Amino acid sequence: MKKTYNLRAIAAKTLAQVLERGQSLNTLLPGLQSTISDKDRALLQELCFGILRTLPQLESIIRQLMAKPLTGKQRPVHYLLMVGIYQLSATRIPPHAALAETVEGCIVLKQQQLKGLVNGVLRQFQRQQQTLEAQAAAQDHYQLHPSWLAKRILTAYPDEGSAILAANNERPPMWLRVNKLHNSRDAYLALLAEAGIPGIAHQTLSAAIRLDTPCNVGRLPGFREGWVTVQDASAQGCADLLAAADHEQILDLCAAPGGKTTHILEMAPAARVTAVDIDSQRLERIKENLARLRLEAAVIVGDGRRPEDWSPVAEYDRILLDAPCSATGVIRRHPDIKWLRRDADIAELAGLQKEIINAVWPYLKPGGTLLYATCSILPEENSEQIRAFLASHPDALLTQTGDIEHPGRQCLPSAEGGDGFFYAKLIKQTSVAQAQE
Ligand SMILES: C[S@@+](CC[C@H](N)C(=O)[O-])C[C@H]1O[C@@H](n2cnc3c(N)ncnc32)[C@H](O)[C@@H]1O
C-alpha cells in the first residue's frame, strides 16, 4: 500500500508545535500515531524524542551549515533540517532514504521551493559529518539543558548535579508492575522469559520488573487482560507507602491517567477509591485503565483546591496527593519538558501545590495518612514545601520519609533505577496533645 503521508514532515511540524507553541509531546503524539503505520510510530517517537534530547547540538550544527536561519513561513523547514541531520547522525536509516524522504517533506510543508536548499544542506552535513559531530559532542550535559534549569539542579545537588544532568539525557529503562491479582511476580517473570522478553525483579518493590530492553506493550503477556501495567519504579513506590487496606475510604487526588489509582486497587481491591482530577480528558484515561484492569473506583472531575465542591466523603482514611509539578524528575522520559518549562513556573507550581495540600488536609481523618508525591527533583516543590506545611500544621506528623531537618524522601533518576521522584508521608495526629508529644 502506498503511503499517503510524509513522516519527516509530520515530525518537523510536531517539533514546531512543541518549540513554538508550547504543546507537549504527550498531547500531540497519540493523535498523530493513530494515523500512521506501526513501524512509523516508533520512528516518529524516536525522531521527536531524540531531537528534543539533543536540540542545542542540532541547532549548533545548523548554524554552521547555514548563513541565516529560516524564519516566518519557512520556519517548519528548519525543523525538517533537524529531522534530516538527526537521521543521518543517530539512526540506522540508510542515508539515501533519509535524504530523499526529508527533501520530499518540503512539499507537505508547502515549501517546495526549498527542496534544493534542504538537499544541499544535508549533503554538506554528510561531507563534514565527522567534524560537525565532534564539535557538537563537545557540548556537555549542562548545555543540553536550558541554563536556568541546569543551574537550579546544580544548586540543589552540588554533588549529584552533573550525574542528574547526564541521566536526563539517557534513554529510560522500561519498568512493569505485575498485577498480583492475576500472577505472582515470579510467575510473570517466567511468562516474560517464555515470550523472549527478559527482565529483572526490583529489590524492594514487590511488583516491579525492569525489562532488559524496552518493548511494545502488545508483546507483553496478558497486557490486554490487565496482568501488567507499564509504570516507573519510583511511581510504584507511592502505593506501597500509602499502604491502603480493603474497605478504607481512599482519595486519589490529581489521579489522571490513573497509574496509581489502579495500583492502589490491585493492592486493596475492596478499598473504596475516589479518583479526582481537574482535567476531564485525562480522566477518560483513568476509566480506560480501570476497565483494562477490571477494577472499580469513583472517578470525579474536580479542582483539588476546592474539595468542598466535589468530595463525596467528609473524611478519608488515606489521601494520595500526586501533585501537579515541574516533572523535572522525568525529563529522560519526556525530553520536551526541558524546553516547555520556564523558570517562573516553579514558584507558580509550588503555590498551587501548597493550595491543594492545605485545602485537602481537613478531609483526612484523625489518625489518617496523607502521602504527598511529585515527579520533581526541585526542593521548592518537595522538601521545602513539606517543611513549610509541617510548620503551619502542628497536627501533621512526618513518618517513614525523612525527618524534620530533611523532610521527605527524594529519589533521583538513575540508569538502572527509577525516575526522579519525591514522597512525604504525613499522619494526622488525633489530638493536639499527641501532636505536641
Ligand atoms: C503527576 S500528574 C498525576 C499522575 C497520576 N497520579 C498517575 O499516577 O497516573 C498530575 C495531575 O494533576 C492534575 N491537576 C493539575 N491541577 C489540578 C488541580 N488544581 N486539581 C486537581 N488536579 C489537578 C493534572 O491534570 C494531572 O493529571
pLDDT over 70 percentage in the chain: 98
C-alpha 128/C-alpha 65 separation (Å) is: 10
Please report which confidence band the pLDDT of residue 23 belongs to, taking 50, 70 and 90 as the band edges. very high
Give me the mean pLDDT over the 367-377 stretch. Answer: 98
C-alpha 32/C-alpha 39 separation (Å) is: 13
The order of strands in the sheet holding 208-211 is 199-201, 208-211, 175-178, 228-230
Tell me: pLDDT of 434 over 70.
no
Tell me: pLDDT of 128 over 80.
yes
Q: What is the pLDDT of residue 153?
A: 98
Q: What is the pLDDT of residue 317?
A: 98
Give me the mean pLDDT over the 396-406 stretch. Answer: 95
Tens of pLDDT, residues 287-337: 999 999 999 999 999 999 999 999 999 999 999 999 999 999 999 999 999
pLDDT over 90 percentage in the chain: 94
Say what the pTM is.
0.95
Q: Is 71 left (phi over 0), alpha (psi -120 to 50) or beta?
A: beta
Residue 108, φ and ψ in degrees, nearest 5: -65, -35
**294 class by beta-carbon count within 10 Å (0-12 exposed, 13-18 middle, 19+ buried):** middle
132 Cα–ligand 1 center, Å: 42
Give me the mean pLDDT over the 192-203 stretch. Answer: 97
Tell me if ipTM is over 0.95. yes
Distance from the Cα of residue 335 to its chain's centroid: 9
Tell me: pLDDT of 224 over 70.
yes
Ligand 1: lining residues by beta carbon, under 6 Å: 254-260, 277-279, 282, 303-305, 322, 324, 356, 375
Please report which confidence band the pLDDT of residue 38 belongs to, taking 50, 70 and 90 as the band edges. confident
Strands 228-230 and 249-253: unpaired
Closest Cα to atom 2, ligand 1: which residue? 324
**280 class by beta-carbon count within 10 Å (0-12 exposed, 13-18 middle, 19+ buried):** exposed
Tens of pLDDT, residues 157-191: 999 999 999 999 999 999 999 999 999 999 999 99
Q: Among this protein's residues, is 375 annotated catalytic? A: yes
Please report which confidence band the pLDDT of residue 433 belongs to, taking 50, 70 and 90 as the band edges. low
Ligand 1 atom index nearest CA of 304: 20
Q: What is the pLDDT of residue 4?
A: 86
16 Cα–ligand 1 center, Å: 26
Tell me: pLDDT of 139 over 90.
no
Please report which confidence band the pLDDT of residue 148 belongs to, taking 50, 70 and 90 as the band edges. very high
Q: What is the pLDDT of residue 290?
A: 97
Give me the mean pLDDT over the 239-246 stretch. Answer: 98
Domains and CATH numbers, the chain: 7-139 (1.10.940.10), 175-230 (3.30.70.1170), 233-436 (3.40.50.150)
Residue 226 DSSP SS3? coil
Q: What is the pLDDT of residue 62?
A: 97
C-alpha 180/C-alpha 263 separation (Å) is: 10
In the block, cell 522469559 appears at 193
**Mean pLDDT of the residues in the chain:** 96
C-alpha cell at 10: 509530520
Please report which confidence band the pLDDT of residue 437 belongs to, taking 50, 70 and 90 as the band edges. low
321 Cα–ligand 1 center, Å: 9
Give yes or no for a cis peptide into 257 (omega within 30° of 0). yes
Binding residue positions: 254-260, 277, 303, 322
Ligand 1 atom index nearest CA of 320: 6
Ligand 1 atom index nearest CA of 252: 6
Neighbours of 344 (CB within 10 A): 9
Q: Which of 254, 309, 310 has the most ligand 1 atoms within 8 A of CB, as the residue to mutate?
A: 254
Q: Which of 277, 283, 353, 357 has the most ligand 1 atoms within 8 A of CB, as the residue to mutate?
A: 277
C-alpha cell at 146: 536550558
Binding residue positions for S-adenosyl-L-methionine: 254-260, 277, 303, 322
Closest Cα to atom 15, ligand 1: which residue? 324
Q: Which of 66, 71, 26 is nearest to 49 (CA)?
A: 26
Closest Cα to atom 25, ligand 1: which residue? 279
Residue 266 DSSP SS3? helix
Tell me: pLDDT of 2 over 80.
no
81 Cα–ligand 1 center, Å: 36
